[in-house]
Amino acid sequence: MKTKVELLAEIEKLKKQVEEYCEYASDYPKYMLAYNHQKSEQYIVRFVSKTYGEVVAVSDNASYMVGCSSEEWIEHTNTEYWKETTNPNELCDKDVVECWDDNYIALRCIKFYDAKNSRTYDTYDGERNGAGYENYRKLMPWEEPEWCEEARKTLED
């Protein structure tokens, strides 16, 4: 059984957390990609405050598991450790996707997703409203081929 003093201290701590959450609520959630120079271990954390978040995606060799949460992450504002990214569970404009139709079991394509039209960008000129597929799987940042970053800049806005 907790004492009155312990309960009051706990209430104050919770009030502080609520105040911090409300102060930054318009900025959250933030999806941040943790990375290092060798890119040997990568994971995406969904932050709901400056230091509290939950792992939502991991590379094969990451030491964290999906679902792992902590109140003590390095602050997501530290650009030496974090890089902002998109929600790994939502398809966003210009995301790199693996796409295929069900009747082609041995054919998969890697293209850029056109969220405006729910299709892919055209392969030849980078314009919107390219091919449509039955299935899309968003590639995680550590899965993207090296050419994607430069190619993304040529896509129609």
**Within its chain, how far is the Cα of 94 from the centroid?**
14
2-36 residue pLDDT tens: 888 888 898 888 888 777 666 555 677 888 888 65
111 DSSP β-pair partners: 97
Most confident of the ranges 8-12, 64-68, 131-135, 138-142: 131-135
* Averaged confidence pLDDT in the chain: 87
Task: Decide if pLDDT at 77 tops 70.
Answer: yes
The domain spans of the chain are 26-85, 96-152
Q: What is the pLDDT of residue 22?
A: 60
Q: Is the peptide bond before 29 cis (omega within 30 degrees of 0)?
A: yes
Query: What was the pLDDT predicted at 118?
Result: 94
For the chain, the 3-state helix, strand and coil shares in percent, each to the nearest 5, are 20, 25, 55
Token pair for 20: 């911090």
Strand partners, 137: 98
